[in-house]
Amino acid sequence: MTLPVEWLPSPNFGERLTGPTDILVLHYTGMDSEGRALKWLRDPESSVSAHYFVFEDGRIARLVDEEKRAWHAGRSHWQGETDINSRSIGIEIANPGHEYGYRAFPDVQIGAVIALCRDIVQRNPIPPERILAHSDIAPLRKEDPGELFPWERLATAGIGIHVPPAPIVAGASLRIGDRGMEVADLKDRFRKVGYGLGPESEFDVLTEAVVRAFQRRYRTERVDGVADPSTMATLDRLLAVLPPKP
């Protein structure tokens, strides 16, 4: 670790159980102060933690050693995997989140996140397409780091994947309650990205949550859970740049 990082250990960790460390998950803290969030992540009663914590002023703290299994992902799913904690490194980014006054992330904080991500991927086999939002892996439960997080800036710096969103235009859309082959095809396209959807041909609550998670990251102008032409075209743009699956 060449970055200036403060060691503020959390007792909330275990041993990794499966696979290489090949996923990086970005979170926001979602609490009314970064001090309370940091205290919670270090409280043995909370049973939650992350490997790193990035303050709004750009300071970085390490809470759990990278070789250990921090407890940040919770119930989650990506590309068929469900023990995301065993395969991932988690970064908590101080921000009050949607419940406590969600706001833009300061430039100095994002600069620190970029530097930390670069440092992590130099040591771990994490491909760009497996740098994820918490909402990607747990769309029914989580919204973070949210639609204000600058994924495009990270991608420009070589961290993660970004595609330009297709413009919002009028046209046929899919929404909760719809059924049929178009819905099944849409869900299949989301599964190819990595989202945890089944093969059923119903646009259910989970499908809506996945669409919202995708919009929060790739089409932030409107986050409504409706698979409109812009959302579907942006999804196709993402699929076109993802590496082929083996």
**Active site (catalytic) residues:** 92
Q: Determine contact, residues 172/229, Cβ cutoff 8 Å.
A: yes
Question: What is the distance of C-alpha 116 from the center of its chain?
Answer: 16
Tokens 């065993």, residue located = 86
Q: Determine contact, residues 31/97, Cβ cutoff 8 Å.
A: yes
CA separation for the pair 62, 41 (Å, rounded): 11
Nearest to 90 by CA among 116, 127, 51, 145: 51
Query: 82-93 b/e with 16+ CB inside 10 Å = b?
Result: eebbbbbbbbbb
Q: Determine contact, residues 71/48, Cβ cutoff 8 Å.
A: yes
Nearest to 27 by CA among 125, 138, 119, 120: 138
> Hey, which residues does 132 pair with through a beta bridge?
25
